[in-house]
Chains A and B, each alone.
Chain A
Amino acid sequence: MSSQANSVAMAGAAGPVPAAAGTGPRPGVPTPPAGKRADRERFQWSSLSLLAPSLVLLAVLFVIPVIYAFYLGFTNLELVGPNAVTWHFTGTQNLQRLWSDPTFFLSLRLTLVFIIGSIVGVVVIGLALAMLLQTAVAPLRILVGGIVVIAWMMPAITAGMTWYASTTASGTFGTLLGMPNSDFLHHEPLLIVTLANVWSQTGFAMLVLGAALRNIPREVLEAADMEDASRWQRFRLITLPLLRPTIVTTVLLITLISLANFALIYVMTQGGPGNATNILPLYSYQQAFEFNNLAYGALVGNVMVLICAIFGVIYVRASRVRT
């Protein structure tokens, strides 16, 4: 508080001093009180040297490549062969190919099923666990909470391995269900891969939603009890609306993570059998680095960015609509 007042006073005192030559006020940018100020409000050239490493790295290895990838999607660049050296802009040729590519549309459908299945699974199970943990006895709470968090922490590659081993022929699940020779991963690949993803993301949702649950004021729930609200009413009319912002954020993060969860699926199925789990990140990789069509792979990547953007807009709108 006092430092704020100080700086204002100092700025006022410094006001009459003529502005430094050359540093004219930038049009459009709200100018700070005229004249040199001794506090932090002045732009210092050393700021640039602090920012420079990050800005240069982000520009050269992140922003420009993203723009470049967008352009690459409309060329005929290939991994090997003559088109690897002399490639050029080909207009909408790749787009036409995309439009008549049944594998792409299959991949798009699989991606949506995978993402929506993961979101529903993660949020429902995560919320259920968070609520159950609140009422559970201490040892059980620590044990189960620990197991779920460990599943979440596991590197995607390890999670993929454990699920591959558990669901392949003679794996744990088949043995337990009395069908030791049935290869679940082969028969229901998309379901198993989605389950594996839910398994490895739920811990995150559980922790975040658990923290949000603890922030719900007790009085509100007690008031509902006074009004003889049923458990379901309490959940639907109080808990859920209060958790809404947290749920929206969780869903957004789960979407991004699921769409980026290349390793999990690649380890388990490599997109197969056939194309049964060939979601967009895998299809993009397959086209670029297995079929050598770098440009077409980049175009598929562009579609992924578009999907992320669409989901992003939906979530922003969902979080703005307040009850």
Chain B
Amino acid sequence: MTAGVAAPAPQAPSGAPVQPPANPASRRSMSNKAISNLLLTVFGVLFLLPMVWLVLASLDANATWSVEIPHLTGANFAAALSGSDLQSLINSIILSGVSTAIATVCGALAAYALSRRRIPWKGPLLLIVLFLTGVPLAILIIPIFELFSDLGWLSILPCALFLAVTTLPFEIYLIKNFIDAVPQDLEEAARMERAGTMQILLKVIGPLAMPGIAAAAIFGFVTAWGSFLIPLVLITSPNQQPGSIAIFGFIGAAHVQYGNIAAFSLIYAVPIFLLYAISSRLFRGGFVLSGAVRG
């Protein structure tokens, strides 16, 4: 506290002597600025380069692996949105949607209990959940494959269930952090009015922790959408495969259709971009709860 108050005091005089004789210094900082802008441009170009092919080839009627001026066409996108390609996108939506719904509902309930209730061995429990977020999934795939193939479950819905479980530990953590920030008083007020646990969850905690729950859901959806190894192993039927597997199939095809690959890859990335835009808006709005308990 005292340090915080003391700090601005010497700052005011310190600014003064630095500024006036700054003529050579400011020229130096000008050239520094130019150099850093230049460096940034170089980085930007390097990061952009690999994407150039993706965009150009997706619009090119006779695309190859090389970057060319495209013979403009929308046929690639039309092809990527029809037939088995469209089916694989729908599969992706089902897979990610079901997985997200399971993980977010289960995660929110558990997060509420872990945040508010007295639970024996809560500390170790949270530690285990934290530990699970770091376990490499490649090790899980073999026992789960054994289990699911014994049960005859090598299809899309069990796969969605398993994807949900893989994102669950992190979702619990994320939602718990948000519920921790919701003031207790609001909940106590609701309890005074004889609201049940479910009512409190749906009408008090739910709306107030919504940015956290939405962030967790977006995390779950993005993870499931990008998953590759898990559906590759756990879904046997080709017409249940999600888009990520479909893209891979394109490369191995006898007659490689480059434009199609590029268009489909772009389409496949769009939901992720949209969700990212939504989530960054969610957080820019801030997390205003202080008003709710005033007075």
User: What is the interface of chain A, defined by CB distance below 8 A to chain B?
Assistant: 3, 26, 29, 32, 40-44, 46-47, 50-51, 53-55, 57-58, 61-63, 65-66, 68-69, 72, 77, 125, 128-129, 131-133, 135-137, 140-141, 143-144, 147-151, 153-158, 161-166, 168-173, 175-176, 180, 196, 199, 202, 217, 219, 222-223, 225-226, 256, 259-260, 262-263, 266-267, 280-281, 284-285, 288-289, 294, 297-298, 301-302, 304-305, 308, 312
**Cross-chain contact of A155 among B67, B172, B226 (Cβ < 8 A):** B226
> Which residues of B are interface residues toward A (Cβ below 8 A)?
7, 11, 14-15, 18, 32-33, 36-37, 39-41, 43-44, 47-54, 57, 64-67, 102, 105-107, 109-110, 112-114, 116-120, 128-129, 132, 134-147, 161-162, 164-166, 168-169, 172, 184-185, 188, 197, 225-229, 233, 244, 247-248, 251, 258, 261-262, 265-266, 268-269, 272-273, 276
Given contacts A140-B37, A284-B138, 15 further A-B contacts (CB under 8 A): A43-B117, A50-B113, A51-B109, A53-B110, A57-B168, A65-B143, A136-B36, A144-B47, A156-B228, A157-B268, A165-B258, A166-B53, A285-B233, A301-B139, A304-B138
Which residues on the B side are within 8 Å of A140 (C-beta)? 37, 40-41, 44
Residues from chain A with Cβ under 8 Å of B162 in the complex? 61
B136 touches A301 (CB 8 A): yes
Q: List 24 A-B contacts (CB under 8 A).
A: A26-B120, A40-B118, A50-B113, A57-B165, A58-B168, A62-B132, A66-B135, A129-B40, A132-B40, A132-B43, A136-B37, A143-B44, A148-B44, A157-B226, A158-B54, A176-B49, A196-B50, A260-B137, A263-B229, A267-B247, A281-B229, A294-B146, A298-B143, A301-B138
- For B54, the chain A residues whose CB sits under 8 A away are 158, 161-162, 165
Task: Assess the A144–B188 pair: CB atoms within 8 A.
Answer: no
In contact, B142 and A43 (Cβ under 8 angstroms): no
Are A199 and B47 also in contact (CB < 8 A) when A61-B144, A132-B36, A155-B226 are? yes
Compute how far the CA of A185 lies from the CA of B211 in the bound complex, rounded to whole angstroms.
42
Contact call B146/A50, Cβ cutoff below 8 A = no
Whether B112 contacts A50 by the Cβ 8 Å rule is: yes
Of the candidates B44, B109, B145, the one whose C-beta lies within 8 Å of that of A147 is B44
User: Looking across the interface, which residue of chain A has its beta carbon closest to that of B196?
Assistant: A46
Are A51 and B113 interface neighbours, CB within 8 A? Answer: yes
Chain B residues with CB below 8 A from A173, complex form? 49
From the candidates A137, A164, A180, name the one contacting B66 in the complex (CB within 8 A).
A180
Given known contacts A77-B146, A157-B265, A172 and B120 CB-to-CB distance under 8 angstroms: no
Name B's interface SS: helix
User: Known contacts A154-B272, A155-B268: does B251 contact A267 (CB below 8 Å)?
Assistant: yes
Give CA–CA (A47, B14) in the complex, Å: 58
CA distance A260 to B139 in the complex (A): 10
Contacting pair B49 A29 (CB below 8 A):
no
**Which residue, B15, B138, B184, B226, has most C-beta atoms of chain A within 10 A?**
B138
Contact B32 A66 (CB under 8 A): no
Q: Which of A3, A147, A158, A163 contacts B48 (CB 8 A)?
A: A147
CB distance from B107 to the nearest CB of A (A): 6
Q: A50-B113, A54-B110 are in contact. Are A43 and B229 (CB under 8 A)?
A: no
CA distance A54 to B228 in the complex (A): 24
CA distance A259 to B225 in the complex (A): 19
6 tightest CB-CB pairs across the interface, nearest first? A263-B228, A301-B139, A144-B44, A54-B110, A65-B143, A50-B113
Q: Which residues of B contact A157 (CB under 8 A)?
A: 226, 228, 244, 247-248, 265, 268
